[in-house]
Structure 1
Amino acid sequence: MTRIAIMSDVHGNFEALREVLADLDAHPVDAVYCLGDMIGYGPQPQECADLLRERGVRCTMGNHEQGLINIIYLRGFNQPAADVLRRTREMIDEATYQWLITRPKAIVEHGCRFVHGLPPDSVTEYLWKYRDEMAGVFSRYGEDVCFAGHTHDLMRFTSRRGDIGRFPLPEGYTPLAPDRRHLVNIGSVGQPRDGDNRAKYGLFDLDSRVLTMRFIPYDIKKTADLIVARGFHRGFADRLW
């Protein structure tokens, strides 16, 4: 059996990441992937980056990592988010900075594609913008299964001979039919926006093609209080609830 774990959008939320990885320890996998935005919004970017590297998580670049590179990319953020990225740069060491800004825009392994935004390799485009053009999205890459993040929401798209399906992605088991291609928005660890404030990640069995979504509680108050204590915009704390 080959099984992988997929997460996205940790956003400096160390409490959420720690609980996700603790849960993952009870479900052994062959590889773990994080689909970008390890930093931004949250109060512990260095701790999150350290833990992801310590655990050997394969990470793609997100738009928040890209925003660290230069002012051109930073202009794409609203002011509070840009302010957090500037503060984040001060909070991380040089080695972590270099690691974050050199993540690949996409990873293809185990017959799957992993990308932050829109496949094949966009870190900035949102899937929801293309919900009426999904046939074109599927045509841009060749893998049967693609995992994406960026929207902080949970959603699954399917394609079969031009027939496009759109489905919610619930907690628990979701078989990915072998006669269809699948594009899965895996949700967020550090700042879910799907109406459920638990941290989200997925386990995918490549043999049975069953995706299991795990919803993990964590100490939200601890993270929210630290966001405020470190001078970040209070809205990023309120959004966690």
Structure 2
Amino acid sequence: MIQLAIISDIHANLIALEAILEDIEKRKITDIYCLGDLVDFAPWGNEVIALIQNKGIPCLLGNHDERIGFNQPIIPLVHHNEEETFHRNVAINLSKRTITAENKNWLTKRPYQLKLSFKTGDAVKNILLVHASPRSNDEYIYETHPNQGLINMLPDQTIDALVMGHTHASYIKNESGILMVNCGSVGRSRETDQKATYSILTISDGKVGAEIIKVDYAIEKVAKAIYESEIPDFYGDFLLRSEVTYTEVI
């Protein structure tokens, strides 16, 4: 049996990442992969990058990482109101100033996709890891997305499992023999339970299975650190679901 832990969308939340890694260690899973978005919206962008590096975790380039690494302009999102647009600009510009040049350079070296192949018995199972979708680094694939449309995005039809992040909303479904997993968000969940979230893939007896794991962490401590930083209070309120409205697009 082979087990993989897939994490994504940490968004500089070191405390949530540490809780997830502790849970993975307790389960004795040694193969960990990250789908990206290490930076923005919490105070520990450099520390999160350092921990991912120190653990030797293969990591994709998330859309937030791409913006910071390559110093791309901040494009307003049509689904954000004026208030959220303002706070988003402040938070991302703070990352642009505070993420070190060395870490920015490291981010630019991350791949967009990673294809993994594992042999169990006589069967070879192929798993495709992407940040958002197989064709775009910032496309939102929610659980309601048409299955056939997603299958048509695959670079080939030998994929047994597709694992995504980006939406901060986890799910597992199966279509035409392809397991589709969104592993949720470690540090900025949009799910009602607000827990740090990741997925475990199990490859055994020629089959690939998935499980969504939810982990408690000191969310109030993270919000307090945001309030004490230059990051807008909006993002601490988001974690506490306090006096803030937010949209489906991030």
TM-score computed with the length of structure 2 as normaliser? 0.82
1:228 aligns with 2:209: no
SS in 1 for 2:227: helix
SS in 2 for 1:157: strand
Change (3 A) 1:220 1:59: same
Q: Which residue of 2 aligns with 1:43?
A: 43
Q: Which residue of 1 aligns with 2:248?
A: none
CA contact (8 A) 1:2 1:30 kept: no
Identify the range of structure 1 (141-150 vs 25-34) with the bigger mean alpha-carbon deviation: 25-34
**1:153-192 alignment, distance < 5 Å:** 153-160=169-176, 180-192=177-189
State how far apart, in whole Å, the 1-side matches of 2:172 and 2:43 are.
30
CA contact (8 A) 1:63 1:124 kept: yes
Which letter does structure 1 place at the counterpart of 2:42? G
1:88 aligns with 2:103: no
Identify the range of structure 1 (15-24 vs 136-145) with the bigger mean alpha-carbon deviation: 136-145
Q: Which residue of 1 aligns with 2:166?
A: 150
Q: Which residue of 1 aligns with 2:112?
A: 105
1:114 aligns with 2:111: no
**1:68-79 alignment, distance < 5 Å:** 68=68, 69-72=70-73, 74-76=74-76, 78-79=85-86
Q: CA deviation at 1:33?
A: 1.0
CA contact (8 A) 2:161 2:208 kept: no
Q: Which residue of 1 aligns with 2:123?
A: none
Q: Which runs of 5+ in 1 are unaligned?
A: 161-179
State how far apart, in whole Å, the 2-side matches of 1:28 and 1:46 are.
27
SS in 2 for 1:60: coil
State how far apart, in whole Å, the 1-side matches of 2:72 and 2:9 are.
22
Which letter does structure 1 place at the counterpart of 2:131? H
Change (3 A) 1:97 1:71: closer
SS in 2 for 1:25: helix
What per-residue deviation string (whole Å, max 9, x for no partner) do you get for residues 71-121 of structure 1?
A: 44x22453322321221122222111111122111111132111111114x
Q: Which runs of 5+ in 2 are unaligned?
A: 78-84, 118-125, 241-250
Q: Which residue of 2 aligns with 1:239?
A: 238
1:123 aligns with 2:137: yes
State how far apart, in whole Å, the 2-side matches of 1:51 and 1:71 are.
24
Change (3 A) 1:129 1:156: closer
State how far apart, in whole Å, the 1-side matches of 2:178 and 2:4 are.
18
TM-align CA RMSD? 1.8
Which letter does structure 2 place at the counterpart of 1:21? L
Number of corresponding residues: 219
State how far apart, in whole Å, the 2-side matches of 1:79 and 1:118 are.
27
State how far apart, in whole Å, the 1-side matches of 2:149 and 2:215 are.
34
Change (3 A) 1:19 1:129: closer
State how far apart, in whole Å, the 2-side matches of 1:112 and 1:29 are.
17
SS in 2 for 1:127: coil
Q: Which residue of 2 aligns with 1:199?
A: 196
Which letter does structure 2 place at the counterpart of 1:53? Q
CA contact (8 A) 2:9 2:186 kept: yes
State how far apart, in whole Å, the 2-side matches of 1:35 and 1:211 are.
16
State how far apart, in whole Å, the 1-side matches of 2:109 and 2:229 are.
27
State how far apart, in whole Å, the 2-side matches of 1:46 and 1:95 are.
10
1:136 aligns with 2:149: yes
| Percent identical residues | 27
CA contact (8 A) 1:152 1:188 kept: yes
SS in 2 for 1:15: helix
Q: Which residue of 1 aligns with 2:122?
A: none
1:58 aligns with 2:58: yes
Q: CA deviation at 1:130?
A: 7.3
Change (3 A) 1:158 1:85: same
